[in-house]
Amino acid sequence: MKYNIVDGVKYTRKHEWARREGDTAVVGLSDYAQDKLGEIVFVELPDIGAEIEAGKGSAVIESVKAVADLYAPVDGTVVEVNEELLDQPELINSDPYGDGWVYKVEVKDESQLDALMDKPAYEKFVVEEDEK
Amino acid sequence: MSEAKKTPFYEKHVVLEGKIVDYSGWLLPVQYPKGLVEEVHDTRRKATIFDVSHMGEVSVRGKDAEAFLQKVVVNDISRLKDNAIMYSPVCYPDGGVVDDILVYRIDGESFFLVVNAANTDKDYDWFKENVFGDVELQNLSPEYAQIALQGPNSEAILQQLTDVSLGEMKNYHFLPEVKVAGVDCIVSRTGYTGEDGFEVYCKNNGAVDLWDAVWEAGQKHELNPAGLGARDVLRLEASMPLYGHELSKELTPLQAGLDRFVALDKTVEFNGREALRKQKQERISRKLFGLEMLERGVPREGYPVKVEDQEIGWISSGSYSPTLDKFIAMAFLDPEIVRQTGEVDVMIRNRSYRAGITKMPFYRREK
């Protein structure tokens, strides 16, 4: 596999990932997504306290050539944002599942998280995406 | 639209893992695995090779070739010597821009024009419409491939492949018949990056040999491939206009700040002369300015620019600049208002971001 797809997180069809931490989920962009976007130069973070809705835009990620929405993987309230990204948006490229996390959301409905793809399902999905 | 065309270098891009896109009907790499930012750095610091075969080429020959060109271009071709090149906008009678082109003078009765890919057919039709006297026009675009070799190491790379002394070739000069690695080429000291470099034209059948030879010669000079993405950023850093952004049917060369390429005092009548002379005397409501973001944000084409909530223009090209590590843009703005303020607001997704008016070019290479 050309992309780093890690265990222990759930993936969306728009290439976000979410990792459960107690009542919250940490959200970021998958390695596949950062690779497709290229060098990321700007991140617009949501406000803390913002209500986000699954499938709706919740942050904006910009590479040199493209503007991409980060769609919320689940419904919830943003409780923390990764302010490091404001000065170092390239952390999403270098460490998409670690230092490149984008925000933390208080999860309303756990079942939304459970319904997302796990590693094997996402691996299969990415292969299909690349064949398109 | 017809199916996108492949240049003779298509297979090279595939082997080099270029990310191929359809650009003006041509399948070309937007970037290679190193990525756009590194490709920009490679061009500024070492050397890069670009496939620019999509560019159009038109030959103009005959006793009236110069007179014809004097009518269709706004720059003064009479000042052009043999083996020299002149940049010029081509205008409609109303001053709007048909295209911006390079005119290569082979001799007084033979010229070679290089035009934008997307405009090739339109230009050729326009030339035919304006032609008179003893002029033979030929659209050579389908027969020609083109490589741009750009960056400080370019001369050292290309010199290995030719007997011609490239050190003697000045900027914006060319030689029409040069053997490069045994392939018949036109070699010019030109480019669209703001770096030193060469553009090498050859017939399609010699193209792969040319590429392979340049690639091989480049190995000890850290030559890398670069794509359209880097090319666009490089030209923006060097503040070179791009048709469709800074120039169009609706925008004149004077609005784009290209005054020094508009020979209003030319003694012969040319397309756009009256309109441009008139515009020169009048207040221009939108003129091109350089912007540098004071707050982090990516200025992109089409974003509105405001001063105190009043819209004063729009971004025509904008990007992150890897060379300057800043966010820069070119914008058409109301010059009266710009004169009164050094700062403006760029509207990005309905939020305003501060930007300062700055001198262009954003980047100029040290000579």
Contacts of B30 in chain A (CB under 8 A): 65
Of B176, B206, B189, which Cα lies nearest the Cα of B150?
Answer: B189
pLDDT at A130: 84
pLDDT digits (tens, 9 = 90+) for A2-17: 899 999 999 999 999 9
In a domain, residue A3? The reply is: no
Distance of alpha carbon A106 from alpha carbon A96, whole angstroms:
20
Contacts of B231 in chain A (CB under 8 A): none
For residue B335, what are its two tokens?
A: 């010059």
Closest partner residue to A38 among B35, B297, B298, by Cβ? B35
pLDDT digits (tens, 9 = 90+) for A97-113: 999 999 999 999 999 99
How buried is residue A2: exposed, middle or buried, by Cβ count under 10 Å (0-12/13-18/19+)?
exposed
CA A22 to chain B, closest CA, distance in angstroms equals: 34
Which of A36, A40, A41, A61 best tests the B interface by mutation, with the highest count of B CBs <10 A?
A41
Contacts of A41 in chain B (CB under 8 A): 298, 320, 327
Distance of alpha carbon B93 from alpha carbon B349, whole angstroms:
38
ipTM: 0.89
Write the CATH number for A86: 2.40.50.100
In a domain, residue A2? The reply is: no
- How many C-beta atoms surround the C-beta of residue B120 within 10 A? 21
pLDDT at B366: 86
Closest partner residue to B320 among A60, A64, A86, by Cβ? A64
In a domain, residue A57? The reply is: yes
Amino acid at A45: L
Decide if A86 and B319 are in contact by the 8 Å CB cutoff.
Answer: no
pLDDT at B96: 98
Q: Domain span at residue A22?
A: 10-127
CA A36 to chain B, closest CA, distance in angstroms equals: 10
In a domain, residue A4? The reply is: no
Number of folded domains that form chain A: 1
CA B330 to chain A, closest CA, distance in angstroms equals: 16
- How many C-beta atoms surround the C-beta of residue B325 within 10 A? 9
Edge-to-edge strand ranges of the sheet holding A57-63: A40-44, A57-63, A67-71
Q: How far is CA B177 from the centre of its chain?
A: 23
In a domain, residue A132? The reply is: no
Decide if B36 and A62 are in contact by the 8 Å CB cutoff.
Answer: no
Decide if A64 and B30 are in contact by the 8 Å CB cutoff.
Answer: no
Contacts of A65 in chain B (CB under 8 A): 30, 36, 229
Task: Please answer whether residues B108 and B66 qualify as being in contact, where contact means their C-beta atoms are separated by less than 8 angstroms.
Answer: yes
In a domain, residue A1? The reply is: no
Q: Is 0.90 surpassed by the pTM of this model? A: yes
pLDDT at B1: 53
Segment holding B333, helix H or strand E: strand B326-333
Distance of alpha carbon B156 from alpha carbon A57, whole angstroms:
50
Decide if B35 and A39 are in contact by the 8 Å CB cutoff.
Answer: yes
Segment holding B69, helix H or strand E: helix B65-72
- Which of the four pLDDT bands, split at 50, 70 and 90, describes residue A131? confident
CA B35 to chain A, closest CA, distance in angstroms equals: 7
Query: Which residues of chain B register pLDDT less than 70?
Result: 1-2
User: What is the share, in percent, of chain A residues with pLDDT greater than 70?
Assistant: 99
For residue B14, what are its two tokens?
A: 């595939």
Bridge partners, A122 (sequence order): none
In a domain, residue A26? The reply is: yes
pLDDT at A132: 75
Indicate the SS3 state at residue B344.
strand
CA A31 to chain B, closest CA, distance in angstroms equals: 15
For residue B66, what are its two tokens?
A: 């110069």
- Greatest extent of chain A over all pairs of C-alpha atoms, in Å: 39
In a domain, residue A80? The reply is: yes
Contacts of B320 in chain A (CB under 8 A): 41-42, 64
Closest partner residue to B37 among A39, A62, A67, by Cβ? A39
pLDDT digits (tens, 9 = 90+) for A10-42: 999 999 999 999 999 999 999 999 999 999 999
